[in-house]
Structure 1
Amino acid sequence: MTRPGQPASAVVSDDALFGPEAAGYARYRPGLPGVAVHLLAATQHGVPAPVLLDLGTGTGQVPRALRPVLLRMAHIDLVDVNASMLKAARAGLEPLRGACTVDVFTGAAHTFAPAAPGRAPTLITCCRSFHWMARPEVLSMADRIAAPHAVVAIMGDGSLWTHEADWTAALRGLIQSYLGEDRRAGTAGTYGGPGRSYEDDLADSAFSEVTEHRFPVSRTWAPEDVLGYLRTTSFARPALFADRHPDFEAAALRLLQDQARGGVLEEDAVFTVLLARRPGGPA
């Protein structure tokens, strides 16, 4: 599970990257496969009052998926650098919260500290966001605050940029014709190629006992939904195109409609979950 090697150690401002797209993020980003949700819930078997720490929570996909399955959950900490994302995450959790308490922390993941004693996380999750973080520092923070039997789950399934299909290749080429060959990343810069794998990060941390779980996922996209998804990404967000964004979206819609079969575009992905524990802990 190799991912980018340039962690974002500085806090990204609320408006700099994904903040303005919180509503679109909640609508267009794919959720977690059900099998992955049940795998996460199973890690808490025997834990009487699980505490979830969700790093890079975005609009709260992980806790929203877990809460109905893990009814014993006592507390949730939501961590993100974007205040508008956290607002959306908390609002989305409210109908599911019940007696479970929820705190939000705006800031870089490695700077997190529980707001109150007695809330050591028993499950720490990070979905599609670990590459943005100062990864060794995040794992050190997790070791300081986590319960002895805690599980760290690093999850992801790539993106439409990395997915290999005729339609994604054509879409990637169109983006490059507007923005250049290099993949854009962050607020100003490009993706520099793979660095250390997440497995290497975990091997050098306190959570060095790692198991990998891979779940095939098939999705279908409407062309218009792909455009909505692109607006939430760091490689094709509207600000990168400036006044050319309407032209890009018109060209992208034509391309996607031409590539669609029966009005839909197919994506076959693999959702990978790395479960990491301290050596000698429960399996």
Structure 2
Amino acid sequence: MTGPRTSSPGRTPEQHPLFGAAATDYERYRPGVPTPAVQLLADVLQGRPNPVLLDLGTGTGQVPRALLSAAPGLAHIEAVDSSQQMLDQARDALAPKLGGCTLRLVHAAAEAYTPLPGDEAHSPDLITCCRAFHWMNRAAVLAMADRVAAPDAAVAIMGDGSLWTHEADWTRALRELIQHYLGAERRAGTGAAYREPGRSYEEDLAASAWNEVTEHAFPVDRAWAPKDVIGYLRSTSFAGPELFGEQHAAFEAQARTLLDAHACGGSLIEHAVFTVLLARRGGGAR
């Protein structure tokens, strides 16, 4: 096995990782990628010699970890994140599973990613971005993907919202409690309120080279224990501990009481839909 390598092509000056301090909670409490979605990605790589994955906004490495099991022929992974703490978690999670697959950890904003000079053998066959595309300079990311990807590569933009956006009695009550402490606007870390993207991901892809798109929707039912929801909140940009300051302990106590009441001794159910936008270049190979 070739051990993980780390490089830092650089970050854009305005890029501040939102989740680095929460890397441990992110690894423990964030839901993984549903099995049918993983199989869809594995099918993209099937039959390709020495396939290469480029995972943007890799976080703790959930996507490459799933594909190492589902696509055993995977030859190389480029895992990119703007948080070094997230990359450290990804390294620890991926290293035992690599086998003959090589791994390069890249500390950079997604749009700033560059392959190593002369590393054409590692042109990605599949570029993935899971639950992170909304934080990125999306047009720049898709242009970068066109520059670096193999001629017949695919791009997969994936996600399923969050417990902030999910509509259920318990999530509405939880959202109202967060707003009681932090104000009506959804927060995006300590620096600003969250702003929805100006256009849909479908519109982003239509305006790029990756304009042949198929949508795949996978319903997912999740049963949350109240304590795990509390852990999940610590990993988010809208309810992380740093947003509450000295009131964080009081918030968590109230949130736990609220969640226990809604769970009635059982679980809190989330009916989600995990969506994959699988895109290829218009007209096939460039």
- Please classify the TM superposition score into its range, dividing by the shorter chain length: over 0.9
What SS class does the counterpart of residue 250 from structure 1 fall into? helix
8 Å Cα contact 2:134/2:197 also seen in 1: no
Residue 107 of structure 1 deviates from its aligned partner by 1.1
Q: Deviations over 1:56-76 (max 9, x none)?
A: 000000000011111111100
The residue type paired with residue 211 of structure 1 is: T
Residue 48 of structure 1 deviates from its aligned partner by 1.2
In the alignment, the residues of structure 1 paired with residue 126 and residue 59 of structure 2 have an alpha-carbon distance, to the nearest angstrom, of 17
**Can you give the 5+ residue segments of structure 2 that lack an aligned partner in the other structure?**
1-11
From 185, 188, 194, the counterpart of 1:185: 188
Aligned position for 1:94: 95
The residue type paired with residue 227 of structure 2 is: E
Aligned position for 2:59: 58
8 Å Cα contact 1:214/1:271 also seen in 2: yes
What SS class does the counterpart of residue 161 from structure 1 fall into? coil
From 246, 249, 253, the counterpart of 2:249: 246
Residue 130 (structure 1) aligned with residue 129 (structure 2) = no
In the alignment, the residues of structure 1 paired with residue 218 and residue 24 of structure 2 have an alpha-carbon distance, to the nearest angstrom, of 27
Give the alignment's TM-score, normalised by structure 1. Answer: 0.93
Residue 11 of structure 1 deviates from its aligned partner by 2.0
Q: Deviations over 1:215-252 (max 9, x none)?
A: 00000001000000000000000000000000000000
The residue type paired with residue 219 of structure 2 is: P
In the alignment, the residues of structure 2 paired with residue 59 and residue 9 of structure 1 have an alpha-carbon distance, to the nearest angstrom, of 23
Aligned position for 2:238: 235
From 207, 220, 233, the counterpart of 2:223: 220
8 Å Cα contact 2:157/2:278 also seen in 1: yes
In the alignment, the residues of structure 2 paired with residue 114 and residue 76 of structure 1 have an alpha-carbon distance, to the nearest angstrom, of 12
In the alignment, the residues of structure 2 paired with residue 169 and residue 130 of structure 1 have an alpha-carbon distance, to the nearest angstrom, of 25
The residue type paired with residue 143 of structure 1 is: D
Q: Deviations over 1:69-125 (max 9, x none)?
A: 111111000100000100110111111101111001111101101123321000000
Aligned position for 2:279: 276
From 154, 163, 167, the counterpart of 1:151: 154
In the alignment, the residues of structure 1 paired with residue 189 and residue 283 of structure 2 have an alpha-carbon distance, to the nearest angstrom, of 38
The residue type paired with residue 78 of structure 1 is: A
Residue 194 of structure 1 deviates from its aligned partner by 4.7
Residue 274 of structure 1 deviates from its aligned partner by 0.2
The residue type paired with residue 46 of structure 2 is: H
Residue 10 (structure 1) aligned with residue 14 (structure 2) = yes
Task: Give 1:25-64 correspondences, 5 Å limit.
Answer: 25-64=26-65
From 165, 181, 199, the counterpart of 1:196: 199
In the alignment, the residues of structure 1 paired with residue 194 and residue 273 of structure 2 have an alpha-carbon distance, to the nearest angstrom, of 21
In the alignment, the residues of structure 2 paired with residue 252 and residue 52 of structure 1 have an alpha-carbon distance, to the nearest angstrom, of 39
Identity %: 61
In the alignment, the residues of structure 1 paired with residue 258 and residue 88 of structure 2 have an alpha-carbon distance, to the nearest angstrom, of 35
What SS class does the counterpart of residue 102 from structure 1 fall into? strand
| RMSD between aligned residues | 1.3
8 Å Cα contact 2:189/2:240 also seen in 1: no
Residue 187 of structure 1 deviates from its aligned partner by 3.8
In the alignment, the residues of structure 2 paired with residue 193 and residue 275 of structure 1 have an alpha-carbon distance, to the nearest angstrom, of 22
Q: Deviations over 1:10-36 (max 9, x none)?
A: 3215xxx21111111011000010000
8 Å Cα contact 1:10/1:108 also seen in 2: no
8 Å Cα contact 2:46/2:71 also seen in 1: no
The residue type paired with residue 62 of structure 2 is: Q
State how many pairs are aligned: 272
In the alignment, the residues of structure 2 paired with residue 65 and residue 232 of structure 1 have an alpha-carbon distance, to the nearest angstrom, of 21
Aligned position for 1:208: 211
What SS class does the counterpart of residue 54 from structure 2 fall into? strand
In the alignment, the residues of structure 2 paired with residue 136 and residue 265 of structure 1 have an alpha-carbon distance, to the nearest angstrom, of 37
Q: Deviations over 1:197-229 (max 9, x none)?
A: 000000011110000000000000010000000
Give the alignment's TM-score, normalised by structure 2. Answer: 0.92
The residue type paired with residue 76 of structure 2 is: H
